[in-house]
Amino acid sequence: MTHADHLDQAADWFDRFDELDEQGKVELSLWLAVPEHQQAFTRIAAAIGQPEVAAAAIQLANRQRNDKTTTTVPDVVEIRRTARPWFAIAASMAVAAVLVIWLGLQHNNSGQAESPVTVAQAQTLTVETPAGSTESTVLRDGSVVYLSGNSSLQVNHTQALREVSLTQGQAYFDIAHAPERPFVVNVDTTKVQVVGTAFDIDKLAHQTVIRVYEGVVRVFADKSLTLVKGEGVILEDGNWRRTFRIDDSLLPEWRSGWLDVDNQPLGIVTEQLSRYLNKPVHIVGNSKQRIAGRFNLNEAAKSLRLLAQSDGLSLEEKDDAYVITVSG
């Protein structure tokens, strides 16, 4: 069976993952017992922008295979397509994107000319999201970028270098492994360089926060830093402030629609919330007052009102802005 067949089957399973009955879970566990199948399923999930689905499926499969009470299953596992239409379209597009990369690599390995591959992988693109919206984009190299609300990313991939610039907002990157073509993210004067990894960059007015969820990241600011999985760094106006540990999670909380705040300045919290509001938030008074809480980004206006219930804060909604006043 070819790599293309594995990707096609992976797309089928991805389409109907949420609808599997007990027998379907057993069948999926058998299919995922093959390492090539796990790789294909993980690649499709990443291409669609939902790597957490692959992690959940593999965990489920391992649990099923370890269950001694599992019922007998057929010798041949039939792959059926019962997906909802939009998932089917997304999975098919992901198969096409991943196949372009794989066929290009096969072409290189055959010893023939490289020009068709380099042309296919070169890319210039601008991706923008309005306030209150998120968007995932599969780049030609197979990398996936997920943008939060009110964010902007410029892509400039060449034969030798995969370069992007995060000019506004927040982005989560799941980078396709390609040691011969480093992936560089520019954030003002800061550069973040990787080969193949998953990380998050939050670009604020005077602060940039980088968190690494997989692999290794090199950060070039006022000094060079190397971050590994589970580490993060805070830069203020391009200068190192501190390095910190992050929770052992698959994705940043904003990808799940939440903003977790632990003793953060009010100004930073409102800047993050404003990405999901239809108008900006202005602060009158001390914007460095510390805030803690968990806020629903899918209901950002309600979350802002909840925030304003903190001691010493009041909220006024005007036609063109929200105004939070800090007393004292």
User: Taking each helix axis from N to C terminus, what angle separates 266-273 and 300-307, rounded to the nearest 10 degrees?
Assistant: 160
Q: What pLDDT score does 108 carry?
A: 45
Architecture of domain 122-245: Sandwich (2.60)
Query: Where does the chain have alpha helices with state H?
Result: 3-15, 22-31, 35-48, 51-66, 85-109, 115-121, 266-273, 300-307
Q: What pLDDT score does 47 carry?
A: 60
CA distance 48 to 90: 7
Q: Report how far Cα 275 is from the mean position of its chain's Cα atoms.
A: 16
Q: Which CATH number fits domain 257-326: 3.40.50.1820, 3.20.20.210, 3.40.50.2030, 3.55.50.30?
A: 3.55.50.30
Q: What pLDDT score does 81 carry?
A: 33
Burial 266-280 (b: 16+ CB within 10 A, else e): bbbbbbbbbbbbeee
Q: What pLDDT score does 201 carry?
A: 97
- Listed range (23-37, 166-180, 199-213, 276-290) with the worst mean pLDDT: 23-37
Q: What pLDDT score does 117 carry?
A: 39
CA distance 105 to 179: 13
Q: What pLDDT score does 233 carry?
A: 95
Asked if 6 and 40 count as a contact pair (C-beta separation under 8 A), the reply is yes
CATH topology agreement for domains 122-245 and 257-326: no
Q: What pLDDT score does 277 carry?
A: 95
| Nearest CA among 79, 128, 123, 134 for reference residue 97 | 123
- Listed range (29-33, 278-282, 319-323) with the worst mean pLDDT: 29-33
Burial 87-102 (b: 16+ CB within 10 A, else e): bbebbeebbebbebbb
Q: What pLDDT score does 70 carry?
A: 45
The predicted model gives 126-151 an average pLDDT of 93
For residue 115, pLDDT over 60 is answered with no
Q: What pLDDT score does 79 carry?
A: 32
- Of 92 and 136, the one with more pLDDT: 136
| Nearest CA among 36, 17, 35, 15 for reference residue 27 | 17
| Nearest CA among 218, 203, 223 for reference residue 272 | 203
For residue 105, pLDDT over 60 is answered with no
Q: Report how far Cα 61 is from the mean position of its chain's Cα atoms.
A: 24
pLDDT band of residue 103 (cuts 50, 70, 90) is very low
For residue 315, pLDDT over 90 is answered with yes
The predicted model gives 101-111 an average pLDDT of 44
Lookup: tokens for 61: 């499969």
CA distance 297 to 272: 9
For residue 159, pLDDT over 80 is answered with yes
Please count the other Cβ atoms lying within 10 Å of the Cβ belonging to residue 64: 19
| Nearest CA among 168, 228, 220 for reference residue 193 | 220
pLDDT band of residue 236 (cuts 50, 70, 90) is very high
Tell me the pLDDT tens digit for each residue of 87-101. Answer: 444 444 444 444 444
The predicted model gives 213-217 an average pLDDT of 90
- Listed range (19-23, 137-141, 312-316) with the worst mean pLDDT: 19-23
| Nearest CA among 199, 122, 180 for reference residue 155 | 122
Q: What pLDDT score does 299 carry?
A: 94
Lookup: tokens for 229: 């999985």
3-state secondary structure 225-249: EEEECCEEEEEECCEEEEEEECCCC
CA distance 300 to 111: 54
Lookup: tokens for 242: 């501190």
CA distance 236 to 205: 9
pLDDT band of residue 33 (cuts 50, 70, 90) is confident
For residue 65, pLDDT over 80 is answered with no
Q: What pLDDT score does 7 carry?
A: 67
Kindly state the percentage of the chain with pLDDT values over 70. 73
Q: Share the mean pLDDT of the chain.
A: 80
Domain segments of the chain as ranges: 3-109, 122-245, 257-326
Q: What pLDDT score does 327 carry?
A: 87
For residue 49, pLDDT over 70 is answered with no
